[in-house]
Chain A
Amino acid sequence: MEMVGIMTASSIQTGHDTIINFAAMVEMGIYSMEELRTMGADGSPIDQSPIEGARGFEITSGSLGTGVSQAAGIALGEHMKGSDKRIICLLSDGELHEGSVWEAFMFAAHYRLSNFVVIIDNNDLGATGKTSDVMAVEPVRKKMAAFGFKARQINGNSIPEILESFEEARNTKDQPYAMIADTKIFTGIKVYQDAIPFAHFVGANGRWDTGFLEWEPGWQEILGTIEGLENELAALG
């Protein structure tokens, strides 16, 4: 049976939204809902970015530029052992500023690691503004292709397109695969739109003192969006 390991390579976006991983692991029974509710509290097991050894996490994330190399090393190791595991590494466009990720891309292509998939959450968000303003990274797909990846640019907010891209990755031989997922944070949630591009931390919006209550009206909208996504997934079977 084919197994897929998911690595969250720390990045501006994915490192700090690891709450999504924790939420998924609640669904898997690795964490409890009570633990999830302690996010951000002192002493909580729900860390801002996970450290190796935390339940469910096999690498330490949080230091930009270190995750892709590790994921590529795991992919090489699995390849050397003759296993059929595939390694999926998630990073975002902000992390492309780190030079070491390009070392890792070059490496993965040189060793023709077809069991290695990088998903680039191409959301045009950095820590202090739009990636395109801070330090432009486009054209990402062309760069990944030039580095030896089979590279596909998709609408990252479309579940069918993501699934289709994964299928293409699965069938790719002799080279690693890059899914450049163009995403827009808070898609479908109107109340959060004015937080963009200062959405490094949800609710901050450059105003640390206002707190989350200001966004309270958004909850009904969020719940509605989640329900919509669940229906979409159910329809896909």
Chain B
Amino acid sequence: MLLELKDREMVPSAFDDISFDLCTRRKDVIMMSADLAHYCDLYKVTKDLPNQYVEVGMAEQNQVGVAAGLAKTGFIPVTSTFGSYASRRCFDQMLICMGTSKNTGICLAFTPGISSPAPIHHQGTEDLGMLRAIPHATVIDPMDVTDFGQALDIACDTPGLVYMRGHRGTTPKWLDPASFKFKLGKTYPLRIGHGIGVISCGHASQWAVEASDILADQDVDHSLLHVPTIKPVNEQEIIDYCFAHEEIVTVENHQISTGLGGLVSEITSKVGRAPRITRIGVPDSWAPGGSIGHIRKHFGLDPDGLAKRIAGVKA
């Protein structure tokens, strides 16, 4: 389902097309923004489909509350802001207004994790852990435009709170739309192998693929598992994958506590005697600002650095 290297492409302003296409197909979907529409690639809906767009100004908590209200009148609201605000500032609104409801309410978190050039205040590296602690919530961290678009479609028919990390700007299209079909909770093997099993989600699945290309050249036996749904995840698929490898490495665009690494550790600990799990991500630290390349290198998440760390678990 991973496109060949030569077929992988970069898509500019991907969410603009995804949101416009969704709103054209589904007239009950309402896109929302807290004065960040253009910073989240929301252009065409705001201009051409004004009846399906609600601006709330720089008021993220109100955005989620209003969205929950719209949901109660039969609409499917999709809020958008940066992940730092979506998670930290609106947590109570997401939990109370959307989390206790059966109405679909979708919160999109753009520039998630370290993918924001501004430090700390614009970086939401705790959100997956926060959100997966909410009962019955759905939490999705897609890796490219293919699963992002497909997951958003599924989210529109998923009851309750759906928190999804978004991609903005020029975004990779690495999953093959012809063979990849997003299903809630499903895990996706991107590269088959033995030895070291690398489990990743979101932006980190891009990083894992880059590192994997290097590891393949070095004949390091490994495989990749992309886990776009953090909650509810198919636990048996995670267990089967982990027990089929000698070492497990989790890679995430998130603090190494409470996120994907925490999730995999929790699941395997229910069975016991799983392979060692090495959690890679943001190591209980504040990330610097700057380009994503700079921040990744800072944490050893750049292609070479990551490949070295993955190979190193068997050293």
Binding site for B on A (CB under 8 A): 51-53, 58-60, 62-63, 65-78, 80-81, 100, 103-104, 106-107, 110
Contact = CB atoms under 8 A, between A and B. Distances in A.
A109 to B, nearest CB: 12
Given A52-B101, A70-B97, A104 B73 contact: no
Given A66-B93, A80-B51, A107-B62, A74 B72 contact: yes
Contacts of A72: 62, 65-66, 69
Interface of B: 51, 54, 56-57, 59, 61-62, 64-75, 77, 92-93, 96-97, 100-102
Given A66-B92, A68-B65, A78 B73 contact: yes
B61 A69 contact: yes
B54 A69 contact: no
B32 to A, nearest CB: 10
Given A53-B102, A60-B96, A103-B59, A66 B69 contact: no
Nearest to B67: A73
A66 B72 CA distance: 15
A77 B75 contact: yes
Interface SS of B by simple majority? helix
Given A70-B72, A78-B73, 16 more contacts: A52-B101, A59-B68, A60-B97, A66-B92, A66-B97, A73-B66, A74-B72, A77-B70, A77-B74, A80-B73, A100-B93, A103-B61, A104-B65, A106-B62, A107-B59, A110-B57
Nearest to B89: A100
Q: Identify the interface centre among A58, A75, A103: most chain B CB within 10 Å of its CB.
A: A103
A76 B62 contact: no
8 tightest Cβ-Cβ pairs between the two chains A and B: A73-B69, A69-B65, A77-B73, A103-B62, A73-B66, A103-B59, A74-B69, A70-B69
Contacts of A69: 61-62, 64-66, 68-69, 93, 97
9 contacts: A63-B96, A66-B61, A76-B66, A77-B73, A80-B75, A100-B62, A106-B62, A107-B66, A110-B57
Contacts of A71: 69
Contact of B65 (A62, A70, A80): A70
Contacts of B100: 51-53, 60
A219 to B, nearest CB: 36
B191 to A, nearest CB: 44
Contacts of A104: 62, 65-66
Contacts of B65: 66-70, 72-73, 100, 104
A70 B99 CA distance: 13
A68 B73 CA distance: 15
